[in-house]
Amino acid sequence: MAAQEPPETYWDAHCHLSDPRLDSSREAVIRRARDCGITRFVQGGVGPEDWQRQLRLLERYPEQILPVFGLHPWWISENGEASSKNALRDLAGLLNRAVAIGELGLDFSPRFPIALRELQQHFFREQLEIAGHHQLPLVLHVVSAHTEALELLTKSPPLHGGLIHAFTGSLQTARKYLELGFTLSIGGRITHPGSKSEALRKMIQELPLDRMVIESDAPDQSSLGFQGRLNEPVSIIEIAGVVARLKSATTPTILRQSKLNLSNLFGARQIKAQS
């Protein structure tokens, strides 16, 4: 009997499996992902409570979870300067177990008062410095603030790369991130109808496959197939399917390349994370 090829496995470039909304379904969510060949999950870190939840998740799923710890601009905006300062002190003690620092970045969407922008920028700069010190790649959250984020990143260019999670900017913006060594992470938005998603699909046609990864952002950012319910890592199959059509490739080719890009970015650090 011919030896059977081991089944191909894929990675989700960005999700939040530590999110309490998944408490009652997490096991099933991870099982459903595994049944589709998705075996590893790069996390997005939010703040101290989330870091503790990620550590517990890492204990339970040491092979599957790639932990990422960092202060999210939402957390900074909601918790203020003193708490963010304290959190940064705790963060330093965790980073020897992280594959990357994040989510760090800027969110200038109207939900946050303009007065908070300086606070976000301050802790973005602080975390960029910490990342350099710990030689870690970055997981960036940038919404309505690409100009400001690129300005800060150009001043202190990242030495270990990173990804821009759920990228939805223009081709011109994409090229600037690529020049700085970043990889763009593509999420569920491209599965939706509408002109914004159409612009994103057009942009993807111009992007090189070796600088692009596929993320679910579960339990958020539902793709078309998950609207109205919690998103799951299995949605990367649908997202990769759309990218595959745009690139005249197959879905497995897209997911294979995404995994390769992720393992180049984060893979070498995984052993460190588990030790």
Given the complex with Zn ion, which of 44 and 219 has the nearer CB atom? 44
**Residue 107 CB, nearest distance to Zn ion (Å)?**
11
User: Which residue, 78, 15, 22, is CA-closest to 47?
Assistant: 78
Given the complex with Zn ion, which of 19 and 238 has the nearer CB atom? 19
Distances (CA, A) of 80 to 77, 103, 115, 213, 250: 6, 17, 12, 32, 46
For residue 170, report the phi and psi dihedrals to the nearest 5 degrees: -80, 170
The residue nearest Zn ion at its CB is: 44
Given the complex with Zn ion, which of 104 and 153 has the nearer CB atom? 104
Say if residues 254 and 261 touch (Cβ distance below 8 Å).
Answer: no
Q: Residue 136, SS3?
A: coil
For residue 99, report the phi and psi dihedrals to the nearest 5 degrees: -90, -15
**Residue 143 CB, nearest distance to Zn ion (Å)?**
11
Given the complex with Zn ion, which of 84 and 221 has the nearer CB atom? 221
**Residue 219 CB, nearest distance to Zn ion (Å)?**
10
Given the complex with Zn ion, which of 20 and 208 has the nearer CB atom? 20
**Residue 250 CB, nearest distance to Zn ion (Å)?**
27
Q: What letter represents residue 23's amino acid? A: D
Given the complex with Zn ion, which of 16 and 247 has the nearer CB atom? 16
Tokens of 81: 């300067």
Residue 232 CB partners (closer than 8 Å, separation 6+): 29, 32, 33, 216, 218, 219, 226
**Residue 151 CB, nearest distance to Zn ion (Å)?**
23
Measured CA angle at 241 (ends 234, 166), to 5 deg: 65
Which letter does DSSP use for residue 260 in this model?
A: H
Give CA–CA dist 270/232, Å, rounded: 23
Q: What is the number of other CB atoms lying within 10 angstroms of the CB of residue 135?
A: 10
Q: Give contact residues for Zn ion (rule: CB under 5 A).
A: 44
**Residue 215 CB, nearest distance to Zn ion (Å)?**
8
**Residue 6 CB, nearest distance to Zn ion (Å)?**
30
Given the complex with Zn ion, which of 108 and 246 has the nearer CB atom? 108
Give CA–CA dist 27/155, Å, rounded: 43
